[in-house]
Amino acid sequence: MKKIGFHLDNNGIENVNCLNIENGNPGIGGSEYAIISMAYLLAKRKNNLDITLFAEKKGVLPKEINCKFVESIDETISCANKCEIEYLVVDYKRLPHLLITKNPNLKFIIWAHNFIKEEDFDFYSESKNVVRIVNVGREQRDLYRDHKIFNKLDYIYNGLSLFPIDKYDISLYPFKKRNNNVVYIGSIVPSKGFDILARTWPKVLKKVPDAQLYVIGSGKLYDRGLELGKWGIAESNYEAKFMKYLTKEGEILSSVHFMGVMGEEKNDLLLKCKVGVPNPSGKSETFGFTAIEIQSMGCNITTIKCPGYLDTVYNKKYLYKRVDSLASNIIKLLNHQSDDFSDVYKFIKSNFSFDVIVLKWEKLLSTSIADDTLLHPLNEKSNTTFRLKFLKDFMQRIKKHIFLLRNTPPVEYFLIRTFDKIVNRLNTKN
């Protein structure tokens, strides 16, 4: 029996009822939902894995999980050592370098729900007790496929329940009979880019006057203690940035509806929508839970072309490179008369359903790491021109055979540094 630990920072969401996590996200962040649901699924199956969830708050968690309540990641690691945990799965953002160095006998699996910084990648590559970097998407993993850490890089998509999808008969909500409704789901913070959609909305109304915008989420989605601005939607400075586009004479536009944080009940609203716009900026999008949720209710998607959406959006035709394409894409999709729901459902079920994803985690924890094999070989071909992936692939193959070249910086470092230089020059000129 292999002992596996998962660390959960559930500060701020400890009062959310997660007892029925298998039935869908109850209204918490995607990372927390993924951690709780996977610990639950692995714990209830017969798989020779002994699962412990180290949670920082007692919370309302599934009874099937063996939970230990800790005050910090430091205490989690201390408990993991005492419990003889073989692999400790930790969200990338929660694990300081010093704790890895101080605990050489504990094997860490870094679950990268966020993009990993350059200095962290370099550190992980030298840390023998970091045994895997599990990205949440293929495109996220492939950004650094030519890093010297490539033999530790793998990916497993985040999983979701088909229960909320299967309980609805989508045929009863034909696309062509839906109103011209547009929906946004997500945290209303700068990294999620809601201000881009807000800035776009007046342009949409000029072409489609009866269009309605439904906003599901809040600035408090990830930080329930955050002080909100005048409208109670987001932090005051950010709120002021986007509300000027969504108000007139001190009142919210009649076409805009702020729904707050919603659980499964949001599906009743999605069934009435034609277009979904998750994270228009794509800055922080490694996976895209909301894109799958929106598509699962028969909506079309338009958002930016980035790693998370290349993996999770079925029809990639309306993934734009420039944000100024958002308005025209929304207008085109509102005028559509059909969707691809049958194919979309197959796409979701075969790639992201809990039944598929839990098997990936079982294989990773049971055999893949022990056998020093990857679940997904680096020679998989997809979107070869995206962020010079063809060049990364070439460099990875060279580094694999010429050891002296392994320390050559990855192509992605060059792309990021070049982009930063351009931005800094533009800011200097302004």
In the chain, domain spans = 2-160+355-414, 163-351
* pLDDT per residue as tens digits for the range 124-183: 999 999 999 999 999 999 999 999 999 999 999 999 999 888 989 898 999 989 999 999
Q: Write down the pLDDT at residue 55.
A: 97
pTM (predicted TM-score) = 0.90
pLDDT of res. 180: 97
d(CA 334, CA 292): 19
Helical packing angle, 341-352 and 289-296, nearest 10°: 140
pLDDT at 303: 96
CA distances to 22, 37, 63, 119, 406 from 40, rounded to whole Å, are: 8, 5, 9, 33, 39
Strand 2-8 and strand 256-260: pairing? unpaired
Cα(125)–Cα(118) distance, rounded to whole angstroms? 11
Three-class SS of residue 305?
coil
pLDDT of residue 30: 86
Q: Where are the beta strands (DSSP E) in 231-345?
A: 247-248, 251-252, 256-260, 275-276, 300-301, 303-304, 319-320
Query: What parts of the chain have a pLDDT lower than 70?
Result: 219-226, 422-430
- The pLDDT assigned to 225 comes to 58
**Are 77 and 106 contacting, i.e. CB atoms less than 8 angstroms apart?**
yes
* β pairing state of 251-252 and 181-185: unpaired
The answer to whether residues 113 and 31 touch, using CB atoms and an 8 Å cutoff, is yes
- Which residue bears the tokens 């007892």? 19
Q: How much is the pLDDT for 310?
A: 97
What's the mean pLDDT when you consider all of the chain?
Answer: 92
pLDDT value, residue 283: 81
Please determine whether the domains at 2-160+355-414 and 163-351 fall in the same fold group of CATH. yes
Axis-axis angle for helices 30-44, 289-296 (nearest 10): 80
List the CATH code of the domain at 2-160+355-414. Answer: 3.40.50.2000
pLDDT of residue 230: 85
Helices then strands, counting H and E runs in the chain, come out as: 16, 16
Q: Which CATH architecture has domain 163-351?
A: 3-Layer(aba) Sandwich (3.40)
DSSP track, 320-357 = ESSGGGHHHHHHHHHT-----HHHHHHHHHHHHBHHHH
